[in-house]
A and B are shown apart, each in its own frame.
Chain A
Amino acid sequence: MPAMKLLKAMAAAAVLTAATGAAVSEPYDDGQSKTYYETVKGKKVAFVPLSMGFDLTEGWNAGLQNQARALGYTVEVRDPNWNVEAGVQAANGFIADKPDVLILHPLDQQAYNRVVPRALAAGINVIQINMKSVTNGDAFVGADWYDLGVKQAEAVVAACGKDSGKNGKIAIVTGQAATPTIVIGNMAFDDVFGQHPEIQIVARQSADFDPAKAQAITSTILKQNPDLCGIVGVWDGQDSGTAAAIREANMQDQVFFVSSGGGSKAAACDNIENGSFDAYVSYDVPGQARDLNAALKILLQTKPEPGSNPFALYTPLKVLTKDNLTPSSCWKLEELKAMGG
């Protein structure tokens, strides 16, 4: 009897295998889909963020991993933890491993100038995300920092400038000087404020993207300039410190504070709602993640000669204030992890 049972079981298993085999063996090909899936499958993508562990890079990575899982390729991340030198070492390490696409997030405008051409020369397509070194890769995905700077500056001019009836005294709490954000953003500030002579910059200091440092600097600025009208911040991660200092000084009504960032709910919308930020320029990380994935898919399919035909996907910027805030203005990392990209 046991022998009979075994035989039956084997027969059942064989039938089942045949049935499922038939079900997965021939997916519908619309003429492009088959090649699409086959091309991207098994590819290797490498990602060097400036650091993991904060909303921008975690958001992008969530999107990247979701798509990689869905399409059957890998995205490997090496985390230099805010250190340019370590970032360059990580990127060079990746170049030695020869991935198909290398995604770089340079903290420094100059430092990756030799890395990008090297990767291109090694036959690796390069995407730069949100911050671009001076050298072009194959694709750039991210904010136009000049545009962003202009939008921030204009917001503060509107609040403190000629027509506002205020004194025009503002401060800039800037970040690490070598980053594209700051280098290009500052040019935009200078250009806009140059056209508005009534705006007087009473302080311009760097907090190195460190909220604690931003808080200390701002609280000193506020003591020295009790009649300050506005502050320009550069990134919500650092600007939370600036906002805290303004709140401590009880000057939230007097000081107009404009920030910018990836637009996560905790960093942006919550702070706009509670009045910490008066205006906020968002470069919308979910959108960037989608753009990043798009650029990746394009490069994996078209396989252009590295560096031969650079393209850019500049992020549409959103200026958020209390007045235009909606439930969909911001995003949450859990949601992005669940179905972003």
Chain B
Amino acid sequence: MASSETWTRWRYRYIPDKFVGEILSKSWIDTLIPVMILAGVVTVFSIAMPGFLAASSLSDIARIYGEYLIIIVGITVVMMAGGIDLTVGSTFALCNLVALLVINSMEVNLALGIPAVMLVGGLVGLINGVLIGYLGMRAFLTTLVMLILIRAVVDQGLLDYGQVIARGFNASATWEFMAIGDVFGVPSSLVVAVVIAIVGHIVLTRMRFGWHVSAVGGSRRSAYNAGIRVKRTICATYVLSGLLTGLAATFYAARMSSASADVGKGLEVTMLTAAVLGGISLGGGRGSITKAVIGAMIVLLVQNSLIRMGLSSGTSSLVLGLLLLAAVAVDVRWVKNRHKVLARAYVSPTYFRLPPLPETAAGSDSDYALNDKLRGVEAIGLGELDGPEDVIFDQNDNLYCGSRHGDVIRFFAPDHKRWEVFAHIGGHPLGFAFDREGNLHTCVGGMGLFRISPAGEVTKLSDETNRSLLSIVDDSRLRLADDLDIAPDGKVYFSEATVRYEMYDWMVDALEGRGNGRIICYDPKTNSSRTMLPDLQLPNGICVEKGGQSLLFAETWGCRITRWYFDGPNKGRKEIVVDNLPGYPDNINRASDGSYWCALCGMRAPVFDLALRMPDFRRRMVRKVGRDDWLYPNMNTGCVIKFDADGNILDVLWDLGGEAHPMITSIREHKGWLYLGGIYNNRVGKYRIPGADPNWTSLDDYWGERA
């Protein structure tokens, strides 16, 4: 091995490139951009103003921040539902006026006064909500008009009551506390704001109303079709925004006692800037309270710093306006291009070297020499099936296979011509196994492990396993459960092909050459699953050996078959049975003579073997070339091999020309015949095995003959 290749091998073993893409694919990555902006803002202003981070100025900002935060929680909810609330500026002014009048001048008790002020805000929100939610008016125009209308009401109110307010003063201790009080140094408004933010976060992420809001914002029509009361949800968001604006205005009134005409002017733009800067999408459906929290912080720091730097009139608005423009631009571009960036950064190739490719030429003395044994095999369900990945038989010789439409299909014995949908699961069934009681177990891609009773009832057994400590992707969820087998004690061992890709992308996993898959054990006694063997190269076929203490598993991209003892004296031992296969192994099943069948779903090619030793090359390919032009492993032709427990190759069955069975993913021996499945095929093949036991069935081999 060349020294540069050694270097490559070590470099890819110890530098975890895959984490970059995995971090980028996290949903909280959207929050990282505003966090970086915030860090930038803090750095710039700390350098520009020495006293910027002094405690005294921070506590001052924190008090205003509390008010901002209360408002922006409401705005976030509105924007998450796909709306916009420009009325806040005027609502704030109105509520401030009412608060000053009711609490400051008339000295109404705060317990009555504050809810009254909030109700005024809620009422404005209700008008918006009815107009936008129920009458279907455009949010932007409606709230803009309401902004102007309410401002007129405020102006009239100021004229009528301005003088009364200017003389009023409420001396109550609570009012004083709202104005200048703090709890352990945290200003009163911020304490309330934090509580509201936490509640808001829980509601948005964990509760029905929040999910409805996200659903409505994501797609109104789908939300409606799903039975969500769209109109009511939209209306409620505006009412909420109004109520919270009212609360914030109360704090402002306590702090400033100001009935100026400019109260709340431009607040709508400030809040909008904060929300968009935080990464709350204008299109709806995307956002979080955390983002709002950060966005408000950025805007307030910028605003306050510009004031304190003494820039001339209007500069502050100018800077804020530019920020909003920039944020909107970033929002639009990011939402549009995020998945593209991610797709390129996510694929993380690593170094993998296979031994030299074994000979397969016809007439050579290789174990794998080409022949034409599968030519002209019989077909079952030709043209009626779509993707029978695996095939299995019950004790009455009925044939079961899966379909891409999410069904389990049953062909009736003896001729397997008539069929019915035995059960509908909703995902593509990949592996099958019967347990002792005759329940059919299946691994469903994208869904998990399921059990189907003889009557056709579907039960989900497992869709999660334990979360690994250091994994960045959430590997507790089952993405691609692939094949399974059942041990004598009833435990189900199943493979998950990869934790990094969804079912429709499984082939991309080959480009990485890393062990992304694992073998998981489902224990029916505890009804839970645990990962047994992690970091396997697309683990696929699983077959429990006759002794009941070990199983064979195939690693598709590793081109090898391994034995693993899960019980008995050798428990935990792993040994390679067949290494350096000429193709990519898929399902493994028992044969009547005590040996094993294995399907090779594709054959290795020297070019791809070489590419696996060149991770940089594959990385460049992924970044620079369109997806359709990527170099993938060959899946156009395959074969079936038969091997014994020591790994000797006993037989090989080819379909030259690949007309009937270009890609074989599974094989099942039943009463002297070998049945062939293919994940992209339109039939199940039926091959007469010369000299095989015509009475042998897999079911009996596992669970013994039944009466």
Contact = CB atoms under 8 A, between A and B. Distances in A.
B179 A178 contact: no
B258 A93 contact: no
A123 interface: no
7 contacts: A86-B316, A93-B57, A111-B256, A177-B158, A177-B259, A204-B159, A206-B158
Nearest to B311: A79
Contacts of A176: 158, 162, 260-262
Contacts of A95: 56
Given A52-B313, A83-B265, A84-B262, A177 B308 contact: no
B688 interface: no
B307 A86 contact: yes
Interface string A65-91: 000000000001111111111101110
**Which of B51, B57, B162, B255: most chain A CB closer than 10 A?**
B162
Interface string A168-207: 0000001011110011001100000000000000001110
A177 B164 CA distance: 10
A182 B317 CA distance: 27
**Which of B54, B262, B316: most chain A CB closer than 10 A?**
B262
Nearest to B64: A89
Contacts, number: 121
B155 A178 contact: no
A96 interface: yes
A304 B54 CA distance: 27
A120 interface: no
B700 interface: no
Contacts of A259: none
**Which of A96, A97, A178, A204: most chain B CB closer than 10 A?**
A178
B159 A205 contact: yes
Contacts of A264: none
**Which of B260, B263, B310: most chain A CB closer than 10 A?**
B260
A-B CB proximity, top 9 nearest: A177-B162, A110-B257, A111-B258, A93-B308, A78-B310, A81-B313, A178-B259, A96-B57, A108-B258
B163 A177 contact: yes
Interface residues on B, range: 35 or more
Given A96-B60, A111-B256, A183 B179 contact: no
Interface in B280-332: 303-304, 307-314, 316-317
Nearest to A190: B163
A246 to B, nearest CB: 21
Contact of A178 (B260, B307, B314): B260
Contacts of B259: 108, 110, 177-178
B473 interface: no
Given A96-B54, A177-B159, A206-B158, A84 B256 contact: yes
Contacts of A179: 260
A78 B308 contact: yes
A84 B263 contact: yes
Interface residues of A, number: 42
A208 B312 contact: no
Contacts of A182: 162-163
B180 interface: yes
B146 to A, nearest CB: 20
Given A93-B304, A111-B256, 19 more contacts: A53-B313, A76-B310, A78-B307, A78-B308, A78-B309, A81-B316, A81-B317, A84-B256, A86-B316, A89-B64, A90-B307, A93-B60, A95-B56, A97-B51, A110-B258, A110-B259, A178-B162, A182-B162, A206-B261
A182 B261 CA distance: 12
Contacts of A204: 159
B342 to A, nearest CB: 41
A136 interface: no
Given A79-B311, A79-B312, A208 B261 contact: yes
Interface string B146-172: 000000000100110111011100000
Contacts of B316: 81, 86
Given A96-B54, A205-B159, A82 B258 contact: no
B172 to A, nearest CB: 15
Contacts of A113: 257
Contacts of B314: 81
A79 B310 contact: yes
Interface in B226-268: 255-263, 265
Nearest to A83: B262
A51 interface: yes
Contacts of B155: 206, 208
A183 B163 contact: yes
A110 B263 contact: no
Contacts of B165: 110, 177-178
Contact of A92 (B57, B162, B309, B317): B57
Contacts of A108: 256, 258-260
A82 B262 contact: yes
**Which of B155, B179, B265: most chain A CB closer than 10 A?**
B155
Contacts of A84: 256, 258, 260, 262-263
A206 B307 CA distance: 28
Contacts of A78: 307-310
Nearest to A95: B56
Contacts of B311: 79
Contact of A110 (B60, B64, B256, B313): B256
A307 B203 CA distance: 50
A193 to B, nearest CB: 15
Given A53-B313, A97-B51, A183-B166, A177 B64 contact: no
Contacts of B304: 89, 93
Contacts of A97: 51
Nearest to A175: B261
